[in-house]
Chain A
Amino acid sequence: MSAQTALMQEKAGRSGPDLNTQALHMDARRESLRLLALLSPSLLLVFAIIIVPIGWLFWLSLFDEAGAFSPANYARFFEQASYIKTFITTFKVAFIVTGACVLLGYPLAYMLSQLPRRAASICLIFVILPFWTSVLVRTYAWLVILQRKGLINSWLIDLGVISQPLSLANNFSGVVIGMTHILLPFLVLPLYASMKTIDTDCLRAGMNLGADPAATFRQIFFPLSLPGLASGVVIVFVLCLGFFVTPALMGGGKVIMWAMRMEQTTSLYSNWGAGAALGVVLLVVTLALLGLFQWLLGARATGVWSSR
């Protein structure tokens, strides 16, 4: 075989399906490079404002006040009762506020989802309206309403319902009321969105097949609204765990939550290592909870639950 025929054969081979495979491969590479290029600004941003600070936080938490490498910041959680108390308070507030948001938010979202489109969008504006004011302003407004000589107490006393003012602010109930108000839209909005996607024909089918309205709600509407409820609950719960402004102002110094503890540790005692450890613990616990939630939902999805 001469060198010329070998060259010709090679050329023939390259021009066949081989050439196309190579071109496809090149296209795929080019496509992924392009995607990477488009994503790189946001990836850089994520790296700069999330990965770096968290890494730094973790790094800081490993050094004690003297600057020596030690596990002292984490050991403190088990040694000091006040830390455990703060931890418990934080979760207690988060559970109660989330529960209150569900109790208030579910019927509200249900009503919104059943209203005609126009009326629903008007009502939704009232749900979203508080977002336009700062949390600080709204918290002070609650203080004005709830304090010893506030609106509620003076009305109730004037009406003769009570003789002594109720202690509604500067304590645990004040924190719960304030946080529930601020976090309610975070539950209502995802829940409303998921309720809107429930096919009304499914509810009609339920009734047609013999389920009375209550049974139709229980067996069809409620299960179908659960994914929306779950995402609302997760958002509210996680926001509760790290909430600062409202408990700081409404708690009257009696309700110490995790974020307040962090603030004290860093700005009052300038113990950055201990503050960082608090942050790391909160982050880990939150992630663990989210993971647990995901796992629970995932387990349901593999059963008779649709992944919708």
Chain B
Amino acid sequence: MSIAPSALPIGMRGIEKRFGSVPVLRDLNLDVEAGEFLTLLGPSGSGKTTLLMILAGFVRANAGSIRVGGDEIITTPPHKRNIGMVFQNYALFPHMNVFHNIAFPLKQRGVAAAETAERVEKALDLVKLQGLGERRVDQLSGGQRQRVALARAIVFEPRIVLMDEPLSALDKGLREHMQIELRSLHRRLGMTTVYVTHDQREAITMSDRIAVMNAGRIEQLDKPESLYSRPQTQFVAGFIGESNFIPVECRNGSVWYEERRIHTAAATPAAGQYLMVVRPEKLRLLANAEPTSGVNVLNATLSDIIYQGDSFVCYAVLRDGRQLTLRDYCRSDVLAKMPAPGHPVSFGLDAQDTILVAAD
């Protein structure tokens, strides 16, 4: 199936949206590259779904511009936008069978019956639902409905596809399977895809780039790896992955935590108060006699150890009462260093793993 002979880029400038007097999107700018899989990630109420609705044309922005390719589409009605969309609850037409659901966009475009049948067949093939065309929608499982919705959104070869939390109604195993499948389908068809989710793991698994949204703004737009390893705000660091935050101070060109100098790999930012982002898997247990030159040592009191089979989680409390979490695999050399709960413990954090963000 030859979909997306030329995927189109999307350029959004100055998008503003208010519901009544409540601002939902504030001066939002976003560029989606042609053929890219971009995810809008954020908590509920962050404006990600509204932004998708504005892209699809169901919601009109109060201000701003949307360019697809070279064309301005901000005033184009939804039925003329030629954008495929997969809805959260699939929105399949209950009075039509699978075939007619998928044929619907082709029928609207006046495609001849023979070609329609052929293209629907190919689309069914693509989503692995061969031979289910005559099924009624209510005879399908959740996963199958998901696939029909997907087939319907791509059968008319749109150059942009939008997906609004399409996997949220599926159970965990199926969801993870569909993530991989959606990803490979995107690689094969190459259409520009904007995906909305509140599940950070899903976003990281699937996306080329992720736009983390918070309170109607894009906090950070980056590749999944960069987003995880170099979050730029406290919100992003807290939303993507687990983090503990330790307040630190920058002065005289170095970083200080409780009068101890913190080794960092990156350049020291301007003087002021910052938060150090500590990821549980970046910490390691230090034995008493271990050399610690160049390593940041955090002394704490061990409060609890949770055994998780292949790995364990250590909860410790710093002197100032802040909690610190460490996660590591259950190797004998690691376990040998483990003190009993209630005893002092030392955690090591390498200089290249220190991340500083401004406090929100």
B347 CB to closest chain A CB (Å) equals 49
Note all chain B residues with C-beta closer than 8 A to A213. Answer: 79
Q: What 1/0 mask marks residues of chain A from 282 to 308 whose CB sits below 8 Å from any chain B CB?
A: 000000000000000000000011111
Given contacts A201-B87, A204-B58, A304-B100, contact A209 B95 (CB under 8 A): no
Would you call A212 an interface residue if the criterion is a C-beta within 8 Å of the partner chain's C-beta atoms? yes
The CA of A202 and the CA of B290, in the complex, are separated in Å by 64
**Residues 180-238 of A contacting B (Cβ, < 8 Å):** 199, 201-202, 204-213, 215-216, 219-220, 223-224
A209 nearest in chain B by CB position: B105
Partner of A205, one of B81, B93, B136: B93
Cβ–Cβ contact B93 & A208, under 8 A? no
Given contacts A210-B108, A211-B79, contact A205 B91 (CB under 8 A): yes
Would you call B254 an interface residue if the criterion is a C-beta within 8 Å of the partner chain's C-beta atoms? no
Note all chain B residues with C-beta closer than 8 A to A224. Answer: 93-95
A226 nearest in chain B by CB position: B95
Cβ–Cβ contact B89 & A199, under 8 A? yes
Would you call B75 an interface residue if the criterion is a C-beta within 8 Å of the partner chain's C-beta atoms? no
A216 CB to closest chain B CB (Å) equals 8
The CA of A223 and the CA of B109, in the complex, are separated in Å by 20
Q: What 1/0 mask marks residues of chain B from 131 to 174 whose CB sits below 8 Å from any chain A CB?
A: 00000111000000000000010001000000000000000000
Partner of A206, one of B77, B88, B104, B138: B104
B217 CB to closest chain A CB (Å) equals 26
Q: What 1/0 mask marks residues of chain B from 31 to 48 whose CB sits below 8 Å from any chain A CB?
A: 000000000000000000
Cβ–Cβ contact B85 & A205, under 8 A? yes
Cβ–Cβ contact A208 & B136, under 8 A? no
Would you call B359 an interface residue if the criterion is a C-beta within 8 Å of the partner chain's C-beta atoms? no
Q: What 1/0 mask marks residues of chain A from 154 to 169 whose CB sits below 8 Å from any chain B CB?
A: 0000000000000000
A301 CB to closest chain B CB (Å) equals 10
B12 CB to closest chain A CB (Å) equals 18
Q: Chain A contact residues (Cβ within 8 angstroms of B): what range?
A: 20 to 34
Partner of B96, one of A208, A215, A216, A304: A304
B106 CB to closest chain A CB (Å) equals 9
The CA of A1 and the CA of B252, in the complex, are separated in Å by 103
B149 nearest in chain A by CB position: A205
Would you call B83 an interface residue if the criterion is a C-beta within 8 Å of the partner chain's C-beta atoms? yes
Cβ–Cβ contact A211 & B108, under 8 A? yes
A305 CB to closest chain B CB (Å) equals 6
Known: A199-B89, A202-B91, A202-B94. 7 other contacts (CB 8 A): A201-B89, A204-B78, A204-B85, A204-B91, A208-B83, A304-B97, A306-B95
Q: Can you pick out 17 interface pairs between chain A and chain B where the beta carbons lie within 8 Å of each other?
A: A199-B91, A201-B91, A202-B91, A204-B85, A207-B57, A207-B58, A207-B77, A208-B78, A208-B79, A210-B105, A210-B108, A210-B109, A213-B79, A216-B79, A223-B95, A304-B100, A308-B94
Q: 6 closest Cβ contacts across the A-B interface?
A: A210-B108, A201-B91, A209-B105, A205-B91, A207-B78, A306-B94
